[in-house]
């Protein structure tokens, strides 16, 4: 039975683990990042024309009931699912990354100047801010949760590899960074060449390319379903 390390935060890792167990894999759930809610203040007078959600966690941590009838751009099937749970109605969703959303914004709105609200995590990249700074819209980034690189159970992490675990799933570049730091911290870096990395985005591939893993496989689309498809085909 193939052993797989599931590194997502608990709320998502349990679901992923169950799906993999049903396919005959032996999973070890060991989150490598922690998520924490941030208290935020949003002025009532800021009335956005458009909301952007670039992660499912930004939806989970955002109190957005009064915005459910606003136009929303989102990234990823998981984010779309969370938005529907919270009753948002006018959603355009794209698979991919910030570039896909910004391309769609340009297609829909062009040079129009909008008020844009972007609930996000503290690890948000500069792509959005740089784009809207040039485009001229009033863009407000609102961090609603923080991320921290943290191995929840160091013993479990080490035991996985010491007991011949070889397959690691990574769902974000930030998690990939935590994984690399943990390998070196626990002196496991010498087994890099034995480890298969199964990732969900090209940014993970770019980040890990300088390391000598046995193989790095990236899903065709950045979602859980396509990552699991790789595991079924490869192993």
Domain boundary among the residues 146, 175, 203 is at 146
Residue pair 52/128 in contact by the 8 Å Cβ criterion = yes
**Same structural domain, 22 and 95:** no
Residue 208 lies in a domain: no
**Same structural domain, 83 and 112:** yes
The contacts of residue 12 (CB under 8 Å, 6+ apart) are: 56, 78, 171
**Same structural domain, 73 and 113:** yes
Integer Cα distance of 58 and 52 in angstroms: 10
Q: Would the pLDDT of 186 be above 90? A: yes
Contacts 24+ apart (CB under 8 A), 107-114: 111/135, 111/136, 112/137, 113/137, 113/138, 114/48, 114/49, 114/50, 114/138
**Same structural domain, 134 and 42:** yes
For residue 169, what pLDDT band results from cuts at 50, 70 and 90?
very high
Domain boundary among the residues 80, 112, 146 is at 146
**Same structural domain, 115 and 128:** yes
Mean pLDDT, residues 111-140: 95
Integer Cα distance of 65 and 105 in angstroms: 23
Give percent of the chain above pLDDT 90.
Answer: 86
Mean pLDDT, residues 146-168: 96
Integer Cα distance of 222 and 206 in angstroms: 15
* Short-list 180, 223, 230, 179, CA closest to 200: 223
**Same structural domain, 156 and 128:** no
**Same structural domain, 90 and 22:** no
Mean pLDDT, residues 52-65: 95
By the 10 Å C-beta count (0-12 exposed, 13-18 middle, 19+ buried), 44 is classed as exposed
Domain of residue 59, residue span: 36-146
For residue 95, what pLDDT band results from cuts at 50, 70 and 90?
confident
Residue 62 lies in a domain: yes
Domain boundary among the residues 87, 116, 146 is at 146
**Same structural domain, 23 and 113:** no
* Short-list 47, 224, 33, CA closest to 121: 33
First to last CA, the chain: 10
Residue pair 6/17 in contact by the 8 Å Cβ criterion = yes
Integer Cα distance of 234 and 23 in angstroms: 13
Q: Would the pLDDT of 96 be above 80? A: no
Integer Cα distance of 184 and 187 in angstroms: 5
**Same structural domain, 57 and 139:** yes
Our count of domains for the chain comes to: 2
**Residue 122, domain CATH:** 3.40.50.10090
Mean pLDDT, residues 52-63: 95
Q: Tens of pLDDT along 12-44?
A: 999 999 999 999 999 999 999 999 999 998 877
More confident residue, 46 or 208: 208
3-state secondary structure of 151: coil
**Same structural domain, 53 and 14:** no
**Same structural domain, 134 and 47:** yes
Q: In what order do the strands lie in the sheet with 215-218?
A: 26-29, 3-6, 167-170, 196-199, 215-218
Residue 176 lies in a domain: no
For residue 127, what pLDDT band results from cuts at 50, 70 and 90?
very high
pLDDT at 158: 97
Residue 82 lies in a domain: yes
**Same structural domain, 67 and 128:** yes
């Amino acid at each position: 039975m193939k052993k797989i390390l599931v590194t997502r935060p608990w709320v998502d890792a349990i679901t992923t683990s169950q799906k993999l167990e049903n396919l005959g894999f032996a999973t070890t759930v060991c989150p490598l990042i922690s998520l924490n809610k941030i208290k935020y203040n949003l002025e009532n007078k800021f009335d956005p024309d458009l909301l952007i959600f670039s992660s499912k966690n930004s939806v989970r941590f955002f109190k957005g009931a009064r915005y459910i009838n606003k136009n929303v751009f989102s990234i990823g099937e998981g984010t779309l699912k969370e938005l529907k749970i919270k009753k948002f109605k006018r959603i355009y969703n794209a698979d991919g990354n910030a570039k896909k959303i910004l391309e769609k914004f340009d297609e829909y709105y062009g040079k129009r100047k909008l008020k844009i609200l972007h609930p996000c995590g503290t690890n948000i990249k500069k792509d959005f801010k740089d784009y809207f700074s040039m485009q001229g819209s009033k863009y407000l980034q609102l961090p609603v949760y923080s991320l921290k690189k943290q191995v929840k159970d160091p013993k479990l992490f080490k035991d996985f590899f010491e007991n011949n675990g070889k397959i690691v799933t990574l769902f974000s570049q930030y998690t990939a960074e935590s994984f690399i730091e943990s390998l070196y911290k626990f002196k496991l870096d010498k087994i890099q060449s034995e480890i298969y990395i199964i990732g969900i985005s090209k940014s993970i591939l770019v980040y890990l390319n300088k390391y000598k893993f046995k193989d790095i496989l990236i899903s065709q689309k950045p979602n859980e379903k396509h990552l699991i498809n790789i595991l079924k085909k490869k192993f």
